Amino acid sequence: MTQFRLFGGSIHSALVHAATQHDIKEARKKYHNIYALAQYLTRINEVEDNIAAGASVRAALIAGFSGRLLSCLLKAVGEPPFSAKEVATQGYTYTPA
């Protein structure tokens, strides 16, 4: 099992911490969605269910997130940055990996 740099040493704690920090940074912007953190946490739970069903952590995160948030989450769990080729097949709706 991968050792995480963040609190608790679990995927859940690493993802929640990274999403919370991302939301804090986004909150400084003028048009921040005040409901974004709740949406991130809901999607984290869905991604964790996907991982429990057998998907790799990387594939589950790429299927569930995009953009800078995806970069933050991959970094939090010790994965390398995503490539454009990896996310090119990602649709606009969440489809578990």
- pLDDT, position 1: 44
Task: Dump pLDDT digits (tens) for 72-82.
Answer: 999 999 899 98
* Single-letter code of the amino acid located at 12: H
For the whole model, what pTM was predicted?
A: 0.84
Residues 6+ apart with CB under 8 A from 7: 13, 14, 17
The vertex-26 CA angle with 24 and 29, nearest 5°, equals: 120
Which whole number is the average pLDDT over 7-17? Answer: 82
> Could you state, in order of their start, the residue ranges of all structural domains in the chain?
10-87
> Tokens 């608790």 appear where?
8
**CB-based contact 29:90 (threshold 8 Å):** no
- pLDDT value of position 84: 82
- Which pLDDT tens digit goes with each residue over 40-70? 999 999 999 999 999 999 999 999 998 899 9
Question: Quick one: how far is CA 14 from the chain centroid?
Answer: 9
What confidence score (pLDDT) does residue 94 get? Answer: 74
6 pLDDT more than 60: no
